Structure 1
Amino acid sequence: MPSFLKAVKGTKGGSLISIEVSPKASANAIAGFNEWRGTVEIRVAAEAREGEANRELLRFLSDILEIPSENISINSGARSSRKTIAIKGLPPDECARRLEAAHGRR
C-alpha cells in the first residue's frame, strides 16, 4: 500500500494534504498516490465548473476523513488540479491512515 504520509504535512492544529484532482470521474474515489509528485490522486464526479469539483472534493474528504466540513478548506490551488487542502484538528499520521483506508473505496 502506498505511503500517503508523504503527501501530508503537519501544521499547528492540523494537517495539509497535497492532492491532484481529476474531475468528471464516474465516481468519487481515492485513486492512488503519485510517488513522483508526492500527491494523493483523487477523482471526483463533479465537473470543474463554477467551483463544483472543489465543493464535491471537500464533501468527499469530509466523509472519508470523518471530520466536519467546516474543518476542511482549500489552502492553495482553487483553480488548479493540484491543490493543498487544510485539515483542522486531525494530525498528519491519522489523516494519512484514513486516506489509506479509503484508497480504492467508492
Structure 2
Amino acid sequence: MASLAIRHVASSSKSARSALGYIYLQCHIKPGASKQREGIVSVSENVIEVCVSAQAREGESNKAVREVISSVLKCPKSDVEIVRGMKSRNKTVAIGGIDIKGDEEKCISGIRERFENAVDD
C-alpha cells in the first residue's frame, strides 16, 4: 500500500545532491504544545502529526518542526525544508540528501519506522 504521509520524489536535476531525490512528508503541526509533548505524536498512512512548543508566529513553529524532524531522522537541519504550508498547520516537508539505494519501498518503510519509534506512548 502506497503511503501518502511519506513519499519519494526523484529529482530531475543532474547535480550530485539532487540525484538522490527527496523524501516528502505530509505533516499536521500542533504549535504551542507543552515542552513535554514536543515531538512526533502519531504516524498514519496519510499524515505525521508533530507537536512543537513554539508558537505559530514569525516562523518559530516552522523552525521547531525542522528541528524535530531532523532529530528523528538524524540528519542536518539544512536537509529539512518546508516546501508547502508555511503559514498553515498542514505542511509538506522535504528531506534532501537521503540515498534510497535503489529500494524506494525499503527506504520509506525505514523512515516510517523511525517516526513510529519516535512516538511517545
TM range (shorter): 0.7 to 0.9
Match of 2:40 in 1: 30
The structure with the largest alpha-carbon Rg is 2
Number of residue pairs matched? 99
State the 4+ residue runs in structure 1 displaced beyond 6 angstroms.
none
Letter in 1 for 2:42: G
Match of 2:16 in 1: none
Q: CA deviation at 1:33?
A: 3.0
1:26-105 matched pairs, under 5 angstroms: 26-27=34-35, 28-34=38-44, 38-90=46-98, 91-104=107-120
Mapped to 2, the partners of 1:6 and 1:60 lie a distance apart of 20
Question: Could you tell me the TM-score, scaled by structure 2's length?
Answer: 0.75
Structure 1 residues 34, 77: closer, same or farther in 2, change over 3 A? Answer: same
Q: CA deviation at 1:85?
A: 0.3
Unaligned runs of 5+ in 2: 11-20, 99-106
Q: CA deviation at 1:11?
A: 1.1
Greater mean alpha carbon deviation, residues 42-51 or residues 82-91: 82-91
Question: Could you tell me the TM-score, scaled by structure 1's length?
Answer: 0.84
Which structure has the highest strand share of the two?
A: 1
Mapped to 2, the partners of 1:92 and 1:59 lie a distance apart of 20
Q: CA deviation at 1:89?
A: 2.5
Mapped to 2, the partners of 1:31 and 1:54 lie a distance apart of 16
Mapped to 2, the partners of 1:11 and 1:89 lie a distance apart of 12
